[in-house]
């Protein structure tokens, strides 16, 4: 009996996207292409592309393989994703405050 996994919750989808963005940023910072990372990690190019754009959920084994190939750790990727998330939220709040003052609200 095949049971389809439940779709990710909104919170999970946001976390997956944040981690994907962190992986993308680290990969680009190292001067690697998706094909380079795939060759180093053993994870397929389509999976890596999906992870980076937040459309692909991935397991801990793939996550560890990608982290190792990027010469970093899962913990560092997670911290970078969390930091980026806080930075984006802060920037959004500042923009909202600016718009509110500008329009007299």
- Within 13 Å, how many C-alpha atoms sit on residue 65's CB side? 16
Domain boundaries, the chain: 10-102
pTM over 0.85: no
**Under CATH, which architecture does the 10-102 domain have?**
Orthogonal Bundle (1.10)
- Tell me which residue of 16, 9, 32 sits closest to 85, measured CA to CA: 16
What is the tens place of the pLDDT at every residue in 17-71? 999 999 999 999 999 999 999 999 999 999 999 999 999 988 999 999 999 999 9
More confident of the two residues 96 and 52: 52
């Amino acid at each position: 009996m095949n049971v389809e996994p439940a779709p990710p919750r909104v919170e999970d989808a946001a976390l997956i996207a944040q981690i994907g963005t962190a992986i993308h940023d680290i990969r680009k910072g190292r001067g690697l292409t998706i094909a380079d990372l795939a060759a180093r990690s053993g994870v397929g190019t389509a999976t890596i592309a999906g992870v980076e754009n937040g459309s692909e959920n991935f397991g801990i084994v793939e996550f560890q393989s990608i982290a190792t190939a990027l010469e970093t750790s899962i913990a560092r990727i997670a911290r970078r994703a969390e930091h980026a998330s806080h930075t984006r939220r802060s920037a959004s709040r500042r923009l909202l405050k600016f718009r509110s003052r500008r329009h007299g609200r």
